């Protein structure tokens, strides 16, 4: 095994620092820590570190490196809005234990903030010392105030007066103007002033809030910028002209800041009568939850930082001083504005299974045999065509679909709405509590109801996370069921960036299982026995345990035992314990876990036979695949669920088999084996919970291989 040489010395130092295993005590240091489990929050931060390392990797196209840097910021924002928010609440109520790892909430909270501080410092070092110079060398320049020439300064001045100043509302702080409400993750400026205003007031301080509608990075004309793609930060424009907002006063300083707030919605489902109305009332308050993190520019004086810290009720450990823009996530717009295909991933056209290349009638194609779709390497269009044709087909009498994340502009839900208007029996199970998609889902629920569809919001206390479409069609005097089952959401945009599998089938036993699940979601009956489908919260956890223990029994009897499981997160203690026991019996366990993993692999006497790897590449790994050798039967299951407590006990999920031997072989050959053999994008987990990237010069990434073979 060889490490790739890296030409940039600064990049090499970043990679070396990030890829070195962390000290074991950083993940389990606690008087009451349980060494069997890695902490979820710290494991999630390890995932974010791996995302950040994509920005440091010279093999990643330059503008994609910038994109990964921004994705890291976005991930960290959500981590604070949800995970840290819950952790801080545990600290406030002095909860004794945060999870199965045994760390106390306060110990964990301190570890999280310390780890984040390290990662953020690494991020800005990478931004300033590596990416900015590399982009400038490619004529993609970020113009800083000290370097503006006369033409640039004049263009920026005009921009300020024409585009920026008319929409700014500076707020001087005095008894009549208290500290304003600051929106979650918005860009703001603390301004130090000297002198009197028009009314003779001496405030000394003001706040300027940048409207969210304004871009944070502004493109200059090439003839003005002096390069092909020149950008200036909104913060730089405001810093240069902030004095124009305070006529007759002296501006002593202007410092950008940003606050991250708790974004969890607090809706008591047991007490409310109408979940949709309750959510509509709660959503506007999401922007003003309790403050969790304050980011300030590193030139902000201690007194101003302390003032802001006190306004938001934060401790010093919750304040982060950064060397650059406080809102790097908004730089995601830059790769979209720069027309440099050579600095981006090459474009590709998703392929189609052979059975659909000549057959456009989806019902006839599915009737000829199950169809497997592997996104984004294969197109999502057949799923759209399936629902559209169902909406238009006079022989279709009913359509049922779950809606978790679909987006504001969904062709699928538009087709579903059209079907309802045509008088078909349409049922939509809309999950209103799909985090950060609540507004879009509320809109679709209202539109579907207006069209005459039956809209239900799942089951109180259980999120409807399963991905299912069921079509009932009259054929030759009888009703026949067709289904699409997926590991990912019905969101046409994310299917271009997320790896997922979808199965289209008219197998009568599987479609009847799905019909039973829909009946449970919309009705009030008891659980129905299913022939093939495992369902959360009823049978999936039990069925997974049985499958794991069956492999252990095979190994104990001297037969081959092998489990391969691919998922986004592995946290459920019962399944982890079962995997440890299977390992002790000699079962080979290969886990491909993109994000948080609480299991410790490679521990002598505990998990000698378990490996864990995480693949971070061009596409977000999202599919859930569970393989059990089962004495040569090779059972393959696809699922909407990760191995987490919430998925197995507090959500409606389905796990369905791939029965066609040809398609089963495809799932193994496309969804599992390439990832076990990946020598470019794979990171291997150490027993400590840290990850090491092992890369070969001749290695090929799973995603590149699939792009070459399926598109």
Positions at the binding site: 75, 405, 435, 498, 594, 622
Distant-in-sequence, close-in-space partners of 53: CB < 8 Å, separation ≥ 6: 14, 15, 18, 19, 616, 693
CA distance 543 to 545: 5
Helices (H) and strands (E) in the chain, counts: 25, 27
- d(C-alpha 433, C-alpha 439), whole Å: 9
Asked if residue 619 lies in contact with residue 710, where contact means CB atoms within 8 angstroms, the answer is no
Angle made by CA atoms 528, 403, 260, in degrees to the nearest 5? 120
* Terminal Cα distance for the chain, rounded: 30
Q: Per this entry, what is the length of the chain? A: 711
- Taking phi first (over 0 means left), then psi (-120 to 50 degrees means alpha), and beta for anything else, what does residue 499 get? beta
Tokens 């194609």, located at residue: 365
CA atoms of 487 and 366, how far apart (whole Å): 19
Burial class (CB in 10 A: 0-12, 13-18, 19+), 74: middle
Contact 618, 67 (CB under 8 A): no
**CB 616 within 8 Å of CB 589:** no
Cβ of 285: how many Cβ atoms within 10 Å?
Answer: 11
Query: Do 26 and 111 meet the contact criterion of CB atoms below 8 Å apart?
Result: yes
Catalytic residue among 465, 484, 491, 541: 465
Q: Cα–Cα distance between 325 and 319 in angstroms, integer?
A: 15
**What whole-number distance in Å separates Cα of residue 672 and Cα of residue 575?**
20
The neighbouring-strand residues paired with 462 are 459
* Residues 6+ away with beta carbon under 8 Å from 484: 383, 386, 468, 469, 502, 503, 504
Helix (H, G, I), strand (E, B) or coil at 521: helix
How far apart CA 519 and CA 528 sit, in angstroms, is: 9
Bridge-based pairing of strands 396-403 and 425-430 is parallel
Cα 502 to the chain's mean position, in Å? 20
Where b means 16+ CB within 10 Å and e means fewer, 40-67 reads: bbbbbbbbbbbbbbbbbbbebbbbbbbb
Q: Name the strand (E) or helix (H) holding 403.
A: strand 396-403
In order, the DSSP letters of 239-300 are: HHHGGGGSTTSEEEEEEEEEEEE-------TTT-S-HHHHHHHHGGGGGGS-EEEEEEETTS
432 with 279: CB under 8 angstroms? yes
Most distant CA pair in the chain, distance: 90
- Report H helices in 404-495: 411-421, 438-450
Task: Indicate left, alpha or beta for 204 from its phi (over 0: left) and psi (-120 to 50: alpha).
Answer: left
Active-site residue flag, 465:
yes
CA–CA separation, 622 vs 592, rounded Å? 11
CA distance 375 to 37: 33
Residue ranges of the binding site for ATP: 75, 498, 594, 622
CB atoms within 10 A of CB 192: 17
For residues 553 and 587, give the distance between their C-alpha atoms in angstroms, rounded to a whole number.
9
Distance of alpha carbon 158 from the chain centroid:
39
Q: Residue 96's CB: how many other CB atoms inside 10 A?
A: 9
- What residues act catalytically? 465
């Amino acid at each position: 095994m060889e490490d790739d040489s890296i030409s940039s010395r600064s990049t090499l130092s970043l990679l070396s620092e990030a890829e070195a295993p962390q000290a074991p005590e950083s993940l389990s240091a606690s008087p009451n820590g349980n060494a069997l489990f890695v902490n979820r929050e710290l494991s999630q931060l390890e995932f974010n570190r791996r995302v950040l390392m994509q920005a440091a990797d010279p093999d990643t196209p330059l503008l994609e490196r910038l994109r990964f840097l921004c994705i890291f910021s976005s991930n960290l924002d959500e981590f604070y809005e949800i995970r840290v928010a819950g952790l801080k609440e545990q600290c406030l109520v002095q909860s004794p234990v945060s999870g199965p790892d045994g760390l106390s909430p306060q110990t964990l909270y301190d570890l999280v903030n310390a780890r984040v501080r390290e990662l953020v410092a690494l991020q800005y070092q990478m931004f300033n010392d590596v990416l900015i110079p590399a982009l400038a060398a490619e004529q993609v320049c970020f113009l800083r105030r000290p370097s503006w020439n006369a033409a640039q300064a004049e263009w920026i001045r005009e921009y300020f007066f024409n585009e920026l100043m008319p929409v700014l509302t500076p707020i001087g702080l005095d008894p009549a103007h208290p500290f304003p409400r600051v929106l979650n993750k918005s860009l703001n400026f603390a301004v130090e002033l000297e002198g009197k205003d028009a009314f003779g007031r001496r405030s000394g301080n003001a706040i300027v809030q940048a409207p969210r509608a304004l871009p944070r990075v502004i493109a200059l004309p090439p003839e003005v910028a002096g390069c092909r793609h020149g950008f200036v930060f909104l913060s730089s424009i405001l810093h240069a002209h902030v004095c124009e907002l305070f006529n007759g006063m002296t501006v002593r300083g202007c410092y950008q800041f940003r606050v991250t707030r708790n974004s969890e919605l607090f809706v008591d489902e047991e007490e409310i009568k109408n979940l949709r109305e309750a959510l509509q009332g709660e959503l506007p308050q999401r922007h003003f939850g309790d403050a969790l993190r304050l980011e300030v520019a590193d030139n902000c004086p201690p007194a101003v930082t302390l003032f802001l810290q006190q306004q938001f009720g934060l401790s010093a450990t919750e304040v982060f001083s950064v060397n650059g823009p406080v809102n790097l996530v908004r730089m995601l717009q830059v790769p979209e504005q720069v027309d440099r295909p050579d600095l981006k991933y090459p474009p590709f056209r998703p392929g189609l299974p052979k059975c659909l290349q000549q057959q456009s009638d989806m019902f006839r194609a599915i009737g000829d045999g199950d169809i497997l779709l592997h996104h984004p390497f294969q197109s999502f269009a057949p799923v759209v065509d399936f629902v559209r044709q169902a909406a238009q087909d006079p022989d279709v009498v009913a359509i049922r679909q779950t809606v978790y994340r679909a987006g504001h502009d969904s062709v699928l839900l538009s087709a579903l709405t059209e079907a309802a208007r045509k008088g078909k029996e349409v049922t939509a199970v809309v999950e209103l509590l799909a985090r950060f998609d609540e507004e879009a889902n509320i809109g679709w629920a209202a539109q579907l109801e207006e069209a005459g569809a039956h809209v239900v919001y799942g089951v109180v206390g259980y999120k409807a996370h399963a991905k299912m479409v069921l079509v009932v069609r009259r054929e030759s005097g009888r009703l026949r069921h067709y289904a699409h089952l997926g590991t990912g959401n019905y969101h046409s945009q994310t299917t271009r960036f997320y790896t997922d599998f979808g199965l289209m089938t008219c197998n009568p036993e599987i479609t009847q299982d799905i019909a039973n699940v829909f009946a449970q979601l919309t009705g009030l009956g008891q659980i129905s026995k299913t022939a093939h489908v495992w369902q959360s919260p009823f049978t999936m956890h039990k069925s997974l345990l049985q499958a794991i223990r069956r492999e252990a029994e095979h190994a104990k009897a001297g037969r081959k035992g092998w489990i391969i499981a691919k998922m986004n997160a592995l946290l459920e203690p019962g399944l982890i314990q079962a995997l440890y026991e299977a390992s002790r019996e000699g079962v080979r366990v290969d886990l491909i876990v993109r994000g948080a993993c609480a299991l410790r692999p490679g521990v002598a006497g505990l998990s000698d036979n378990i490996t864990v790897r995480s693949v971070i590449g061009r596409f977000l790994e999202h599919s859930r695949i569970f393989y059990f050798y089962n004495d040569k039967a090779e059972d393959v299951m696809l699922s909407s669920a990760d191995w987490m407590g919430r998925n197995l006990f507090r959500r409606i999920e389905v796990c369905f088999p791939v029965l066609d031997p040809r398609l089963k072989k495809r799932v193994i050959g496309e969804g599992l084996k390439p990832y076990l053999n990946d020598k470019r994008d794979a990171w291997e987990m150490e027993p400590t919970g840290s990850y090491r990237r092992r890369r070969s010069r001749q290695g090929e990434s799973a995603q590149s291989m699939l792009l070459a073979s399926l598109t």
